[in-house]
Structure 1
Amino acid sequence: MCMKTNKLRRRLEEQLKRDNRTITFDQEKEEMRFENSDTKKGVTVTLGGILAKFEGNVEKAAEETMYYVNEALNAFDGSGKKEEKEKRIYPVIRAASFPKEAEEGVPFFYDNHTAETRIYYAVDLGTTYRLIDEKLMTKEKWTAGQIREIARFNLRSLPLEMKQDTVAGNIFYFLNSNDGYDSSRILNDRFLKEMSEKVEGDMTVSVPHGDVLIIGDIRNVTGYDILAQMAMSFFAAGRVPITALSFIYEEGQLEPIFIMAQSRPQKD
């Protein structure tokens, strides 16, 4: 068995393991069987075929398979009902250069956000999520307005615990809960407004990658240089990079800024 097949098998076993599930593997056929332990209903996947479909990319193969298996088993145990799915819809921030359609050519449902970012919408599956496309919207009979409203409502229920650091007289707040929606908190208008009332200097907001949101209370020129270096460092290290640029938050609006060394920023 090739290394990639082994890696995919281990990844699926780790991510899809549940108390009410039975997972078996047929080494000769390179097939995995996932069953609901109560109903004995399940789904079988061929690892070699999945890897071939994604040209050996284990991460993409695992993501696709996890979605497929979860959807199938949820349908068997009744937890895949439309109402349950709606409770798991969230907005996700991506770079403006992110693809507008899935590999199959089906357009994603998205909204423009800033010159640097775009808002996509996803159904959370626990260990991963599926971006909502037009095919899924048609299947679930969701309208654009419904998705936006549900996603914003669910977003407001996510925790907002932040860590604080002071550097050269400037205060930086970091939100890094690793729930997959850290950068999405930039869409929580109430949260940003509350932070703006707390900030004494210039308020900046940064989403260098999907798993972090940084709010800056910039009180001197040095703070902008620190912010630029910080955002670039996070951007380079992120699993899902978004933008190395930061935003000035003023009167409820976000404006991308270019930070010039030893000077105040210039708006894009």
Structure 2
Amino acid sequence: MDSRKMRKIFEERLAKPGRKFIYDRDKEDLRIEHEASGKGITVSIGGIVAKWHERKEAAIEEAIYYIEEGLEAMAGERPIEGEMKKVFPIIRSASFPTEPEEGNPFLFDEHTAETRIYYAYDMGNTYRLIDKRLLQKEGWDPGQIREVAMFNVRSLPIPLKEDKVAGNIFYFINTNDGYDASRILNKGFLVEMQTKIAGTMALAVPHQDVLIIADIRNDTGYDVLAQMAMGFFAAGKTPVTALSFLFENGELEPIFILGKNRSQK
């Protein structure tokens, strides 16, 4: 993979009416811009190529997603209509952009060293991340948005699928409603699950559409969880983190899992 091929992939995947591409050969930067407004996002093609050599297609999918989401937020083409019941928190990686464009930051909160909480307005088949401009346009109070979003995520159903591997129990939430990873913010649910855990409670949110809860009863369980998290992370359309978390004293702590050893970050 080289910059020329990567640029072609991005231009093909991101091409839509009303968009144009500007390429800086010296910097290997590709800018995707709305023709009408002149607003856009610049991505380092050279940087994506470097990530591709480490993560292959997952690096492309992650970058494409971030760009599309940012461009949609800039476009403001979809009117916001409805009630607060359509506002939800979503989990993103700590490297996710904090603003779609200069001077218009997203509403977000720090979560763990690996994850961050953003807020979104559900529009049916998609959702729009809430940013400063949208807050001002709708007259929304950031504190109210945070409170309502957390209430709404606690109201979501939590169907669990269970699997046993090498004496360990793994629970999966995978409804594909866009908020599977967000259910990690339902602390009441996590505390309830903890009462059912016989071993050590660990979790993973490798991508947006899955939450893994593990009842780790032996060292092999850590290895299995790490493999699961990496597999989901590489396959997910919206990767979050391949790291896992311990749930202790009501808090999440990222952990590295190396072979049969584990260490807190």
Q: TM (normalized to structure 2)?
A: 0.74
- The corresponding residue for 1:129 is 127
Which string of whole-angstrom CA distances, capped at 9 and with x for unpartnered residues, describes residues 68-94 of structure 1? 5541xx7xxxxx2xxx24110000000
The 5 Å alignment of 1:78-227 reads: 80=81, 84-103=82-101, 105-227=103-225
Counterpart CA distance in 2 for 1:256 and 1:117 is 10
SS of match in other structure, 1:153: helix
SS of match in other structure, 1:193: helix
CA contact (8 A) 2:14 2:68 kept: no
Counterpart CA distance in 1 for 2:189 and 2:85 is 21
Task: Flag structure 1 segments of 5+ consecutive residues without an equivalent.
Answer: 10-46, 75-79
Inter-CA distance 61–118: structure 2 relative to 1 (3 Å threshold) = closer
The one-letter code of the counterpart of 2:264 is: K
Counterpart CA distance in 2 for 1:49 and 1:262 is 53
Q: TM (normalized to structure 1)?
A: 0.73
- The corresponding residue for 1:252 is 250
- The corresponding residue for 1:19 is none
Superposition misfits of 4+ residues, deviation over 2 angstroms:
50-55, 57-65, 67-70
Percent identity between matched residues is 57
- The corresponding residue for 1:267 is 264
Query: Higher relative CO (CA 8 A, sep ≥ 6), structure 1 or 2?
Result: 2
The one-letter code of the counterpart of 2:215 is: D
Counterpart CA distance in 2 for 1:237 and 1:103 is 28
Counterpart CA distance in 2 for 1:8 and 1:246 is 32
Shift of 1:191: 0.6
Counterpart CA distance in 1 for 2:71 and 2:189 is 31
The answer to whether the aligner puts 1:48 opposite 2:17 as a matched pair is yes
CA contact (8 A) 2:168 2:216 kept: yes
